[in-house]
A and B are shown apart, each in its own frame.
Chain A
């Protein structure tokens, strides 16, 4: 499986934008980029995913580099509730029941 690299932790202030980077230099043309997050004492939850184009949803935006070797999850206005571990995961487009392969993720700390 292609691997991702994320910073161990990041800190941001409440109500400011947050940019969470992810490197995936060995990504294949058929891999989707998924982001999940895990709030304290909860199960992981889906945030956003994309293949080549930038994506927006109510939770966040995903900016994908033109060569697809990196991506950035953007939280436009962080709240205290966004403090969580954020996982950048590549998923093979062939699908199947492989599930998700989680790395260490980025621990996002939000300061009030």
Chain B
């Protein structure tokens, strides 16, 4: 079983549309994250949630809204998509606390806005 799974893997959509990327982890972790990797390959954290509560919200347009229905899921909703939103989005999870904790990443969702 995949530890951190994201769907869809590929998404091509038009500007102005609203789309969602789903993420689920079966590791029993209490913390989940969304990362964005742009065309220059920089990986940057967008959000982190602990026990369904938002912990980190980096400088991300409010068109991006994470939703955590339970500890095992953290979905990413994006409204009014723009060309600059084209990127790879990675979901991740870990246990909270302790710098020795390993963070597990999903395989990524490739979003292309045309």
Q: Please tell me if the beta carbons of B99 and A44 are within 8 angstroms of each other in the complex.
A: no
Total A-B residue contacts, Cβ distance less than 8 Å: 71
Q: Is the interface of B mostly helix, strand, loop or mixed?
A: strand
CB distance from A31 to the nearest CB of B (A): 7
Interface extent on A, as a size class?
Answer: 20 to 34
The residue that A102 contacts in the complex, of B44, B50, B99, B101, with Cβ under 8 A, is B44
Q: Please tell me if the beta carbons of A42 and B108 are within 8 angstroms of each other in the complex.
A: yes
Give complex CA distance A101, B48 in Å: 13
Give complex CA distance A43, B33 in Å: 13
Q: Please tell me if the beta carbons of B101 and A95 are within 8 angstroms of each other in the complex.
A: yes
Give complex CA distance A94, B107 in Å: 28
Q: Is the interface of A mostly helix, strand, loop or mixed?
A: loop
Q: Give me the interface of B with A, judged by CB distance under 8 Å.
A: 4, 31, 33, 35, 41-45, 48-50, 55-56, 90, 92, 94, 96-108
Query: Assuming A45-B105, A100-B45, what are 19 further A-B pairs, CB within 8 angstroms?
Result: A30-B99, A32-B99, A36-B103, A44-B90, A44-B103, A46-B104, A87-B43, A93-B98, A95-B98, A96-B97, A97-B33, A97-B49, A97-B96, A98-B48, A99-B48, A99-B56, A99-B92, A99-B103, A100-B103
Q: Give me the interface of A with B, judged by CB distance under 8 Å.
A: 30-32, 34, 36, 38, 41-46, 49, 51, 85, 87, 91-102, 104
